Amino acid sequence: MFKRDLELEKRWGRLMEGLEETIGKKPKDLNGVLFLIGVQELGKGIKTFSKEQKQDLMHIAICKVLSYAGFYELEYTDQDGWPHWKLIKELPHFDILEQEKLLKIQVLEYFEKEYQIEIN
């Protein structure tokens, strides 16, 4: 494992600990964190979501975090308050591990920028 990968995992671990302190439960994995981001970005608070809505929340989160790297931009918010994103830069063709690494990096950036916290 490369040094930068170890550093990413350390930072990720610190984020997970911080989320556990904040919400009282440690997210299971990257998908759990993305779900939390999706709920936060939707802005409707905690409620029961259908399976389709949960998938939409994950999509919202992925678009939001990848917007920091210039891949997506917010196109509009519909009448129900759901954001719709537009792909503006082609995503790289990564294997699953590289995709996860990219998302983790962007999730860390999301928390640093949106909540002005430094995760070292």
Sequence letter at residue 40: Q
Per-residue confidence at 20, pLDDT binned at 50, 70, 90? very high
The neighbour count for residue 45, using CB atoms within 10 Å, is 7
Q: Is the pLDDT score of 1 beyond 80? A: no
Higher pLDDT among residues 104 and 47, named by residue: 104
Cβ atoms of 23 and 37 closer than 8 Å: no
**Rounded distance between C-alpha atoms, residue 74 and residue 47, angstroms:** 24
Strand-strand pairing, 83-87 and 72-77: antiparallel
Per-residue confidence at 55, pLDDT binned at 50, 70, 90? very high
Q: How many alpha carbons lie under 13 Å from residue 91 in its C-beta half-sphere?
A: 16
> For the purposes of burial, counting CB atoms within 10 Å of the CB of 16, is it exposed (0-12), middle (13-18) or buried (19 or more)?
middle
23-39 mean pLDDT: 96
DSSP reduced 3-state for 77 = strand
DSSP reduced 3-state for 64 = helix
20-41 mean pLDDT: 96
The pLDDT assigned to 58 comes to 98
10-31 mean pLDDT: 95
The pLDDT assigned to 46 comes to 81
